[in-house]
Structure 1
């Protein structure tokens, strides 16, 4: 008998993104949306699409919010999505094949194709960008990280699925930059709480390393103009997070 699938996502002010996302998983047995305090009509859009909607505004980071969202699911398997992601028909077919004949204990990785400034990237470390998103609900859970959370499944066998997950990472540059700055701040706060520090030398070596890694080691040059721009963006993000950590550790930031 085929296993039941719960599509689970956390959302905030994503009313413009949700329709296409939800339409791409309308075939699932259950869709769970945990709203984090939207001020637009995200909740109404999700409910109109048939999703089970819950609200929790006590934000403690992405990892914990994903845990809470998964807690509302009832399916045998969870497919964890973001509101700016869409399932392709090929990926849908691969997921349905898993549900018909699952491998007990396995976690399934999905190739994510990221959109950046007018194109879906093919290199730059942004493709295939595999993420662990399909797994048994009662066996696995996300960690507690504030940002860059991941599934706690270190010892699980990993099976790569066919098909892509489309990720509208950067539809407009201003909102993308704001999101990157928020991620950098959360990253620095988390490291600071764990007693980590940054040095001026480390700031610049990590920044330069991020640029060269994206452009050369990960083939950013093959993505044309967007590849070069992404290398700069990744360097800027790295600079921001290490500089914020440096400021926090020296009492130069209000967030201490």
Structure 2
């Protein structure tokens, strides 16, 4: 259509050679694909280039938020679809995105429902589905915040419109890799909160940990996800414990000592 908005798919990646081909195949219909490599030691950059992506490299890591900002700065199309290498756009979601591009409203941001994989099962409950994320938006109007981890899009009060179709997210393919990533996120979260002057007490560690388990298992109906639901509730509690215990330790200089 004559008034169709153009689309840049934008992603940041590091050592994602195994996941990148399927991801890029799922968005091969976009007008351009931007991959910002964070200093991979595998063939991530070469694979991305061979599949038609525009590849840039930035090894000066300053957190997820700023890396996404930099990646977006290389885009040239009207709209941005921000995804990760472990995500795949389903045909139904593609159709919904194309409908948006044909009649886009720059005052709106479009959210995608993620279906998250955990130990061989795409979760339907536990707070992991539809797990909506704001990922489709006008390039010149919106950008990500500066957070080191769990970065989000600055919406500026825009109306959020949910799209039909799933964004498949291969969250936990290998348990040990997933756990290492969770521990890294907990460390970054604690460092950021500590730098902002935040502190927590000993009792707060316990209440937040118990609360995380109950929220996943009971309030978010994790019990309907079977064995994986119970395991995920424990993992979420563990992640929450690591975050608050690290913040507690930093506040007492135990980490430095």
So what's the TM-score if we normalise by structure 1?
Answer: 0.99
In structure 1, distance between residues paired with 2:10 and 2:255: 36
Q: Is the 8 A contact 2:110 2:163 kept in 1?
A: yes
- Pick from 170, 173, 193 the counterpart of residue 172 of structure 2: 170
In structure 1, distance between residues paired with 2:80 and 2:22: 19
In structure 1, distance between residues paired with 2:177 and 2:47: 21
Question: How far apart are residue 104 of structure 1 and its match?
Answer: 2.7
**Alignment correspondent of 1:231:** 233
**Alignment correspondent of 2:131:** 129
**Alignment correspondent of 1:26:** 28
In structure 1, distance between residues paired with 2:40 and 2:221: 38
- Pick from 133, 144, 148 the counterpart of residue 142 of structure 1: 144
- Pick from 194, 203, 206 the counterpart of residue 192 of structure 1: 194
Question: How far apart are residue 72 of structure 1 and its match?
Answer: 0.3
**Alignment correspondent of 2:37:** 35
| Deviation digits for residues 177-216 of structure 1 (CA, Å, limit 9, x no counterpart) | 0000000000000000000011110000000000000000
Q: Is the 8 A contact 2:205 2:244 kept in 1?
A: yes
Greater alpha carbon shift after TM alignment, 60-69 vs 150-159: 150-159
Question: How far apart are residue 105 of structure 1 and its match?
Answer: 1.2
* Residue ranges of structure 2 left out of the alignment (5+ in a row): none
**Structural RMSD (CA):** 0.8
- Provide the secondary structure at the position in 2 that maps to 1:131: strand
Alignment of 1:6-85 (within 5 A): 6-85=8-87
| Deviation digits for residues 31-56 of structure 1 (CA, Å, limit 9, x no counterpart) | 00000000001001100100000000
In structure 2, distance between residues paired with 1:196 and 1:25: 40
Q: Is the 8 A contact 2:106 2:137 kept in 1?
A: no
* Residue ranges of structure 1 left out of the alignment (5+ in a row): none
| Deviation digits for residues 60-114 of structure 1 (CA, Å, limit 9, x no counterpart) | 1000000000000001000000110000000000000000011231000110000
Equivalences, count: 255
Alignment of 1:215-254 (within 5 A): 215-254=217-256
- Pick from 97, 112, 119 the counterpart of residue 117 of structure 1: 119
So what's the TM-score if we normalise by structure 2?
Answer: 0.98
- Provide the secondary structure at the position in 2 that maps to 1:86: strand
Which runs of structure 1 show a deviation greater than 3 angstroms over 4 or more consecutive aligned residues?
none
| Deviation digits for residues 161-181 of structure 1 (CA, Å, limit 9, x no counterpart) | 000000000000000000000
- Provide the secondary structure at the position in 2 that maps to 1:232: helix
In structure 2, distance between residues paired with 1:19 and 1:196: 41
Question: How far apart are residue 154 of structure 1 and its match?
Answer: 3.8
